[in-house]
Structure 1
């Protein structure tokens, strides 16, 4: 647990640095300036960055700018076509985290989780604090938290409002450590419409370091005119990170529409592009 807490502390520093970069990227800030802004010495800042993502801050910066998306979006279509056909057999690290995605039954959907027992709790991840919920069928919720635990819990509770919720912080932290540190496999247990579930299944097949547009996903599902509906389905994803909605960007290359924060989305994409 000590390791994951340390990773979380490093994430906080990285998030603050990226916010500074977003506001000042046109001035091309130096590593010294960024380190000073996060309250660290240059060499300590470089060391923390290196320990966290395995590369120097300068290399990391090349990945988190919008240029990363713009440079890769042109090739994402062809990569998407092939990678989506690979499915769960992909060698992507993400695909090693789960073995199946299970949708709720019509009865469970209608009754909003009645008679379903969900264990939940808050814990640390390398990308900030999170709320996780899980059943005997699989993980049913994973949402990142910034400041407001009540807001994230209300989202979780609204989704499964008739379920039997059991609070267990120890079990929750064990799950989070297994996911983010040990890369343990888990099923995913999701609640959504047929379209939403199909969209989420498509997202599961996007390998690390690859971004796609909303139009790409719509085309893959043979619904080229349903981009808005596809975008809405992606926005409804309630299992963050494991269902990688962070890998979908606007056609212009803009990093928009991430319910857990644009900075976190940039960090996730950059992290995966470096560690793919």
Structure 2
């Protein structure tokens, strides 16, 4: 039975859940705001600093994964075996709370974007209100809980469809930027006059780069954790960095600062 449970490789078990979390609600609804607030130069700085932290953490996790026998438990298991149970338990509890809060963040972000489509609201007979977000968000989380209880394998298969949808959405966004943008007539390099503090903006963006922990959490279901975790984690972080830098440059080059700051659904509207 232990053999049948370990059925996922680096791509399906680590990379896919990691990249889906990295390219999530922050990218779609807050990256434009970050670029609009501080301009391209500082936005690139924020992305690079965040990814330096992410890469060093990913390399540390990879080092632990290749050095020890990895079982179920993800980061908690790895830390508790490396730093001891007290430290592993303390960090594991923090990660548990952080994951629970991030789920709420992703669901609210998804629901806001979902209800931003007029056709969806008309079909569901809902308005663009906080109550509608609560209704749809509750339905989404119930569906996800049921899915998680049914089968890990089924959840992974569904993630492949979501990954394809994200890839298509990115293509649509970049094509839309070229077709519908302002053609670089007012490139937004520097911060707006009344912008938020660097620390505040960095705190808003930073959760975007922590998504690789989602793949590490699958450690108990991997065929070869010692190889799969380093490959999947590093690959997801690198691709996430490329996407964020490319998108930040595109937004600064083609979209004016006012639209970036004031419209959280600007990517939805600009997409082709």
Query: What is the TM-score normalised by the length of structure 2?
Result: 0.27
Query: What is the TM-score normalised by the length of structure 1?
Result: 0.27
Q: Which has the higher contact order (CA 8 A, sep 6+)?
A: 2
Higher helix share: 2
Higher strand share: 1
Q: Which has the larger radius of gyration?
A: 2
